[in-house]
């Protein structure tokens, strides 16, 4: 069989590479395969898929237009929306198939990574080791088991394809190959904003392993490789602006008052070291980790670790360029999700390591082999240790995946392994409430508020619990606190409207429902309540308009159908 030659000049046996790729693809299904029986989670899956009617209603043109223009769920990632639209057309709302697609994407990403490393370096053994660590690490569980994180898998898919295309371009720099790189990088950017670091990643690969830029190269050589990345930097800049706009519209960007620059810098320094720690010792993993201002010793320790690794990488940049490339690439790919630009409420997230691990593992494996190059006995012992570690990581990954089975399992585990995790306490409270365990739900909401007193969602849900118990005064005060903290919080205004309606203040209820409807353009319930109030007042045209709009937003809503019957004076079964 003909052997292929990588950029390094080393020849490889394609049969061995394909066999290793098949084994890794199968290993992904063995380790993470149980996700096929998992359901959707009350952790963004609702906003992304279950309650997102734009994925399933309207013409294909209308849905595509929405995908490219909407800032839904505080993000702009049209390719991710299109992926879910296709899933909805093929599988409806069967969660098993969505999970299977995540599995397939992760397996394909692993195969693409293996092929990329072999093509770049010609080393099959080291490439297999890196791909194995990437594929089977416990930090992958979140990316594979959480349907919403399809965006990260798609981003990685287009990133790996773009890197393959870039290798072709470097071999022969033609316009068609360059356009292929542009299109594939654009695909990664359209899947998830973290891809804005890809132009810098290509520059790092120009250093190693492509060798296009070497130390001491004249400025003209640098100018060439930087200039050819200019369109990529432009695309990344545009996406950054769109992402900031989407996050600001949803109120997901932390203000400088709430999260000062000094704290951001401190958290940004500690975060890479925390990710290193989770990589080396992947235990007590959770879907999100709360922001906690690091103390002085943590900051000092993180600075020492970062400086120490950086010093080593610089010191060995000539003999081990993979070390400096891997370390710098790890930091660069983490930068877009660092705490310098803080969105959401998490300090860290396991899913953020998906691409950065590529560079980190590559640098570590190549450096380890280099240090052991003249010690065959130690290398043999190291191979046994590596095998044991790989098995241990696979078992840990399988166990971690099991925690994503359902809401109760996931959120119960999260609050058990973290402290002050307000988001996870809130989600667990939601889960208890859906299960009818209201006392336990109230306890979780109060724990969330202890950790984060200015938390409108927890205030709102706690108020709703008190409202159902007839404690209207306490409920109203909690709703008012929620909307005073976040004036753009629609559910708080809706509940205030309901309180006013129950008290007979229909004028006040209409104002508050109207505000809720304006803040929640896809929500049917505020429009149902307004339609019913207008019907009670004999304002039939206004009532009919709001009820029809509610039925359009939620065709299966019994409340919207009843509202339309009231507005149209129709018998029980005649409303459409």
- Any domain includes 467: no
**Tokens 């008052």 identify what position?**
257
Q: What percent of the chain has pLDDT over 90?
A: 75
Res. 37: pLDDT tops 90: yes
Between 221 and 8, name the one with better pLDDT: 221
CA atoms within 13 A on the CB side of 33: 7
- Any domain includes 263: yes
Looking at 376, 402, 428, which one is the last position of a domain? 402
To the nearest 10 degrees (0 to 180), the angle between helices 525-536 and 506-519 is 150
Q: What is the pLDDT of residue 554?
A: 85
For the chain, give the mean pLDDT: 91
Query: Which residue in 224, 225, 156 sits closest to 184, CA to CA?
Result: 156
127: three-class secondary structure by DSSP = helix
- With the C-alpha atoms ordered 156, 159, 165, 171, is the resulting torsion angle positive or negative? negative
CATH of the domain at 549: 1.25.40
539: three-class secondary structure by DSSP = coil
Instruction: Kindly report which listed range (189-198, 322-331, 546-555) carries the lowest average pLDDT score.
Output: 546-555
Looking at 356, 381, 402, which one is the last position of a domain? 402
- Any domain includes 407: no
Radius of gyration of the chain (CA): 27
CA 189 to CA 77: how far, in whole Å? 8
- Any domain includes 152: yes
Most confident of 144-158, 256-270, 278-292: 144-158
CA 68 to CA 66: how far, in whole Å? 5
Q: What is the pLDDT of residue 261?
A: 75
Question: Stretch 365-378: mean pLDDT, rounded?
Answer: 88
343: three-class secondary structure by DSSP = strand
- Any domain includes 442: no
Task: Locate 261 and state its tokens.
Answer: 């620059």
Cite the beta strand spans of 503-553 per DSSP E. none
Q: What total of structural domains would you count in the chain?
A: 2
Between 318 and 145, name the one with better pLDDT: 145
- Any domain includes 429: no
| Whether residues 533 and 392 fall in one domain | no
Contacts of 97 by beta carbon, 8 Å cutoff, 6+ apart: 87, 90, 91
Contacts of 341 by beta carbon, 8 Å cutoff, 6+ apart: 244, 253
Q: How many CB atoms lie within 10 A of CB 309?
A: 18
| Whether residues 21 and 153 fall in one domain | yes
Query: Which residue in 314, 234, 305 sits closest to 271, CA to CA?
Result: 305
Q: What is the pLDDT of residue 3?
A: 55
Q: What is the pLDDT of residue 553?
A: 85
Q: What is the pLDDT of residue 571?
A: 45
- Any domain includes 133: yes
- pTM for this prediction: 0.92
pLDDT band at 498 (very low <50, low <70, confident <90, very high): very high
Q: What is the pLDDT of residue 293?
A: 83
| Whether residues 398 and 530 fall in one domain | no
What is the greatest pairwise CA distance in the chain?
A: 91
Q: What is the pLDDT of residue 576?
A: 41
| Whether residues 335 and 189 fall in one domain | yes
Q: What is the pLDDT of residue 244?
A: 78
CB 269 within 8 A of CB 299: yes
First to last CA, the chain: 68
416: enclosing H helix or E strand? helix 407-417
5: three-class secondary structure by DSSP = strand
- Give DSSP secondary structure letters for 246-293: HHHHTT-BPPTTTS-HHHHHHHHHHHHHHHHHHHHS--S--S-EE--P
CB 332 within 8 A of CB 201: yes
How long, in residues, is the chain?
Answer: 576
pLDDT band at 258 (very low <50, low <70, confident <90, very high): low
- Any domain includes 510: no
Give the Å distances, CA to CA, from 327 to 279, 305, 356: 14, 12, 9
CA 566 to CA 530: how far, in whole Å? 12
Looking at 402, 422, 447, which one is the last position of a domain? 402
Q: What is the pLDDT of residue 4?
A: 53
| Whether residues 61 and 210 fall in one domain | yes
4: enclosing H helix or E strand? strand 4-5
pLDDT band at 431 (very low <50, low <70, confident <90, very high): very high
Instruction: Kindly report which listed range (28-32, 412-416, 517-521) carries the lowest average pLDDT score.
Output: 517-521
Domain that holds residue 542: 522-576
List, for residues 139-189, the tens digit of each pLDDT value: 999 999 999 999 999 999 999 999 999 999 999 999 999 999 999 999 999
Phi and psi, residue 411, nearest 5°? -75, -30
pLDDT band at 325 (very low <50, low <70, confident <90, very high): very high
Burial class (CB in 10 A: 0-12, 13-18, 19+), 521: exposed
């Amino acid at each position: 069989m003909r052997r292929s030659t990588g950029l390094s000049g080393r020849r490889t046996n394609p049969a061995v590479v394909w066999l290793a790729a098949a084994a890794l693809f199968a290993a992904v299904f063995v380790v993470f395969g149980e996700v096929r029986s998992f359901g959707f989670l009350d952790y963004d899956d609702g906003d992304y898929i279950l309650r997102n009617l734009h994925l399933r209603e309207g013409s294909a043109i209308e849905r595509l237009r929405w995908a490219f223009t909407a800032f839904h769920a505080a993000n702009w990632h049209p390719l991710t929306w299109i992926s879910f639209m296709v899933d909805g057309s093929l599988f409806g709302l069967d969660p098993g198939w969505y999970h299977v697609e995540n599995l397939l994407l992760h397996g394909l990403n692993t195969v693409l990574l293996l092929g990329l490393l072999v093509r770049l370096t010609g080393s099959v053994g080291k490439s297999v080791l890196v791909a194995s660590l990437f594929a089977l690490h416990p930090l992958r569980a979140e990316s594979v088991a959480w349907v919403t994180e399809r965006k990260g898998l798609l981003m990685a898919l287009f990133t790996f394809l773009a890197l393959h295309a870039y290798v072709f371009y470097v071999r022969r720099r033609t316009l068609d190959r360059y356009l292929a790189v542009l299109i594939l990088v654009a695909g990664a950017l359209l899947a998830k904003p973290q891809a804005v670091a890809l132009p810098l990643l290509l520059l790092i690969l120009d250093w190693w392993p492509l060798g296009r830029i070497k130390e001491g190269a004249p400025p003209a050589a640098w100018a060439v490789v930087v200039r050819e990345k200019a369109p990529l930097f432009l695309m990344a800049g545009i996406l950054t602006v769109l992402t900031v706009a989407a996050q600001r519209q949803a109120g997901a960007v932390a203000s400088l008052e709430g999260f000062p620059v000094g704290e951001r810098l401190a958290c940004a320094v500690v975060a890479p070291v925390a990710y290193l720690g989770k990589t080396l010792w992947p235990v007590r993993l959770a879907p999100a980790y709360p922001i906690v201002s690091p103390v002085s010793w943590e900051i000092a320790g993180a600075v020492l670790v970062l400086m120490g690794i950086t010093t080593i990488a610089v010191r060995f940049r000539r003999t081990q360029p993979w070390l400096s490339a891997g370390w710098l690439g790890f930091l660069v790919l983490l930068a877009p999700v660092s705490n310098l630009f803080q969105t959401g409420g998490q300090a860290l997230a396991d899913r953020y390591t998906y691409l950065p691990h590529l560079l980190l593992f590559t640098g570590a494996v190549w450096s380890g082999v280099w240090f052991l190059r003249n010690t065959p006995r130690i290398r043999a012992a190291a191979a046994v240790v590596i095998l044991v570690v790989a098995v241990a990581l696979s078992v840990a990954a399988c166990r971690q995946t099991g925690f994503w089975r359902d809401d109760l399992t996931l959120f119960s585990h999260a609050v058990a392994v973290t402290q002050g995790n307000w988001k996870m306490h809130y989600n667990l409270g939601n889960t208890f409430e859906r299960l009818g365990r209201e006392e336990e739900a109230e306890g979780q909401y109060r724990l969330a508020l202890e950790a984060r007193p200015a938390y409108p969602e927890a205030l709102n849900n706690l108020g709703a619990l008190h409202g159902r118990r007839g404690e209207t005064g306490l409920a109203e005060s909690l709703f008012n606190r929620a909307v005073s903290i976040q004036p753009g919080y629609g559910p708080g205004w809706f509940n205030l409207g309901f309180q006013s309606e129950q008290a007979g203040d229909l004028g006040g209820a209409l104002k508050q429902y109207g505000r809720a409807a304006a803040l929640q353009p896809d929500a049917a319930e505020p429009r149902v309540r307004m339609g019913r109030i207008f019907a009670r007042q004999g304002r039939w045209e206004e009532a009919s308009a709001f009820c029809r709009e509610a039925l359009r937003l939620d065709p299966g809503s019994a409340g919207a159908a009843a509202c339309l019957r009231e507005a149209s004076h129709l018998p029980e079964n005649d409303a459409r």
